[in-house]
């Protein structure tokens, strides 16, 4: 049995953190679904920037969009929606079979809106309506300004993938925004069944501290943060408040482990897959990591929900002089900034292709 099938059978969803028009058209995504137990897909500005820049497969679509008078962001979202609605249709049988728990794809709002609550809320609703697919998440960053937009979008019935979370504290803030949106729907007499996931980024933690901690702590922080978030997740979804909304017909905002490609060439290439296995969670991994795990990954068990492993590790990093709260804030800002940089480059790529 393939390691990916073992991980799936443990109860964790494997999503691909990549999309290109080529993998949709040449059978690659279909193969990953059938052979590597992939049950969903995520995208972001960096992924689309690489896809459009490095493939001629989008050129015809760009020309068609130009004929309709589309430029810049509008042109990009027309291309992205073409890709993601096609991907959503690939995953539709999984979405239906799991009653909406799995089989999702994700489209991110413009990262230029990361600190604009009102516009984020408006755009999230418009993009979801334009996609016209029940299994498409709109990604909204879990920044301070993004949290109200998450609550409002959930209240409006828009499925949300909360992105750019780095710490347990940030995860809980996003979970609170989701819960408030659901509770408001219940109070308003609306259906509380609005899906969401909360995406915690893992690998950048280890990159940030690699040169600042003793050798025995290198490449240990990312998994520890993931474990801490899993501990909080398990406690939250079994709390009286959560059980109350579930009893009213809500669904759980699942924990998603993101940025799980290993950055350190000296570390195992499946580090953040084997180390973050847990039921009723998601691991969205780059294509290279998915293929590596399918080839030689190992499922050695599940994360502990009691924090018995992560608590001591996190304490060791604090003792080594790492201010985890400050670093989480820095990583979130840097993550937002990197997506803005990718977005700006993407707009230049589209502009260059429209000029041909």
Cβ-contact 260, 285 below 8 angstroms? yes
Give per-residue pLDDT as tens, 162-177: 999 999 999 999 999 9
State how far the Cα of 161 lies from the Cα of 178, in Å rounded to an integer. Answer: 10
CB-based contacts of 285, cutoff 8 Å, min separation 6: 14, 15, 16, 17, 260, 261, 272, 273, 293
* Distance set, CA 251 to CA 21, 88, 297 (Å): 32, 20, 31
- Tell me the whole-structure pTM to 2 decimals: 0.96
Helices 287-296, 3-10: crossing angle, 10 deg rounding: 100
Q: What pLDDT digit, counting tens, does each position of 108-157 carry?
A: 999 998 888 899 999 999 999 999 999 999 999 999 999 999 999 999 99
HSE at residue 224, side-chain half, CA atoms within 13 A, is 19
According to CATH, what is the number of the domain 3-354? 3.20.20.70
Given CA atoms 354, 18, 204, 110 in this order, what sign does their dihedral have? positive
Residue 356 pLDDT more than 70? no
Distances in Å between the alpha carbon of 274 and those of 189, 231, 269, 277, 278?
42, 17, 10, 6, 10
Would you place residue 355 in the very low, low, confident or very high pLDDT band (cuts 50, 70, 90)? confident
Q: Which residues are catalytic?
A: 139
Q: Helices 72-97 and 117-131, interaxial angle, to 10°?
A: 60
Residue 257 to residue 307: CA distance in whole angstroms: 17
């Amino acid at each position: 049995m393939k390691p990916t099938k073992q991980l799936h059978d443990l109860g964790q969803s494997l999503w691909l953190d990549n999309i290109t028009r080529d993998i949709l058209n040449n059978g690659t995504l279909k193969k990953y679904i059938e052979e590597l137990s992939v049950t969903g897909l995520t995208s972001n500005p960096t992924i689309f920037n690489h896809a459009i820049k490095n493939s001629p497969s989008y050129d015809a679509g760009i020309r068609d969009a130009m004929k309709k008078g589309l430029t810049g962001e509008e042109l990009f979202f027309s291309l992205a929606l073409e890709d993601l609605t096609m991907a959503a249709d690939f995953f539709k049988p999984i979405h239906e079979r799991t009653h909406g728990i799995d089989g999702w794809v994700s489209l991110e709002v413009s990262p230029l809106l990361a600190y604009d609550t009102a516009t984020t809320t408006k755009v999230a609703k418009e993009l979801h309506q334009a996609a016209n697919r029940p299994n498409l998440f709109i990604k909204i960053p879990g920044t301070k300004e993004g949290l109200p937009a998450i609550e409002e979008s959930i209240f409006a019935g828009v499925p949300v993938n909360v992105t750019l979370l780095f710490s347990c504290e940030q995860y809980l803030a996003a979970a609170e925004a989701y819960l408030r949106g659901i509770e408001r729907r219940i109070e308003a007499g609306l259906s509380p069944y609005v899906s969401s996931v909360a995406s915690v980024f893992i690998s950048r933690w280890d990159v940030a501290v690699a040169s600042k901690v003793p050798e025995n702590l290198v490449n240990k922080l990312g998994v520890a943060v993931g474990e801490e978030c899993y501990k909080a997740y398990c406690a939250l979804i079994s709390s009286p408040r959560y059980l109350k909304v579930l009893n009213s017909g809500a669904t759980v905002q699942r924990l998603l482990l993101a940025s799980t490609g290993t950055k350190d060439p000296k570390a195992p290439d499946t580090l953040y897959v084997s180390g973050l296995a847990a039921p009723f969670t998601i691991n969205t991994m780059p294509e290279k990591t998915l293929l590596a795990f399918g080839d030689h990954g190992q499922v050695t068990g599940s994360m502990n929900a009691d924090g018995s492993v992560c608590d001591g590790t996190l304490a060791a990093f604090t003792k080594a002089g790492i201010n985890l709260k400050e670093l989480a804030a820095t990583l979130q800002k840097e993550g937002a900034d990197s997506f803005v940089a990718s977005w700006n480059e993407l707009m230049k790529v589209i502009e260059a292709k429209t000029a041909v």
